[in-house]
Homo-oligomer: A and B are copies of this chain.
């Protein structure tokens, strides 16, 4: 009806189904031809640019629609020198922490028409390098580098080539790099001051391995907030171990084998440790939150909600971090120079384990 090229008329006797209907996608030329105009005119009509009569415009649009035409981003990108893509490169495998970040990031960038390449280097520098090559070849407009745990890493090479890079939930030493991290220390302070406000006097800290910077920062927050609350921070009340429930149980056994001066609150380095601690406390007959109040870290729902009682926990707001990384990257892509290490605030999600008003939690 509208000058369709004859290539989708199936041969007379062939079975009507199962013949791949479109050998390739339609091109602007197909549209122009079918509409009886030049390629340039068709382009202008579709992009609402140039000076064209309303009729011509409408005709082209109609034909384009009937042909299911869709501009070829590859050609557009080539022309504009802007690929409208961004790479996200995870040093180690994607995990529980990178998910919310990536999700929010993708959402933010998608709103600006940018698609993301997902690359997983799994702790293999050679692999990371190949991924980088691939992304540079694809002319990504920017890069987000992330990691499972917020620890210092080696800088990504292309910084030197002027490609915008944001380090999200990971950081490097270069002061010219933009690094986004949760405010671990602030998160810890949130937990401690909450407990102190509830009248707890002796707040111990069971946490993960000290080689994590996050562990050191949270410990610092614990100390600082304690002293601000007029409470003492004793070294023997800070136990560093693994990130597991088992460690939470062991640490509680350690802390509570003393006969006097027992903690009346526990701030745990993550929710798994907290859950282990809760189990161990119940095993030795302490009730929660009456005898011991507990606050965890990560606000990992499956853990926090399943614990009995449900865990009050510090949330790193990783979604906000991801969105912020996306916004910052967009800024950098449009020419702004952003740099420095930014710490984004955590928040406290109150459930029943700390003895505050437990909002009849789910």
Q: Which residues of A contact B (CB under 8 A)?
A: 20-25, 68, 70-75, 77-78, 81, 83, 85, 88, 93-95, 99, 102-103, 106-107, 110, 113, 115-120, 122, 130-131, 133-139, 160-162, 244-246, 272, 275-276, 302, 305-306
Contact = CB atoms under 8 A, between A and B. Distances in A.
Given A74-B138, A78-B74, A306-B245, A115 B115 contact: no
22 contacts: A21-B160, A21-B161, A22-B161, A24-B81, A73-B138, A74-B74, A74-B78, A74-B83, A75-B78, A78-B78, A85-B138, A99-B99, A107-B122, A110-B130, A115-B119, A117-B117, A117-B118, A118-B118, A244-B305, A245-B306, A246-B306, A275-B306
Closest 6 A/B residue pairs (Cβ): A118-B118, A245-B306, A73-B137, A20-B162, A73-B138, A74-B78
A97 to B, nearest CB: 12
Contacts of A161: 21-22, 25, 68
Contacts of A120: 103, 106-107
A302 B103 contact: no
A305 to B, nearest CB: 8
Contact of A117 (B95, B113, B115, B133): B115
Contacts of A275: 306
A94 B102 contact: yes
A279 to B, nearest CB: 8
Contacts of A302: 272
Contacts of A25: 136, 139, 161
A269 B110 CA distance: 36
A302 B122 CA distance: 19
B70 A137 contact: yes
Nearest to A93: B103
Contact of A244 (B74, B85, B306): B306
A139 B73 contact: yes
Nearest to A246: B306
B74 A162 contact: no
A138 B117 contact: no
Contacts of A103: 93-94, 120
Contacts of A20: 162
B72 A162 contact: no
A246 B133 CA distance: 48
Contacts of A276: 306
A102 B78 contact: no
Contacts of A134: 110, 113, 115
A119 B113 CA distance: 12
A345 to B, nearest CB: 24
A74 B72 contact: no
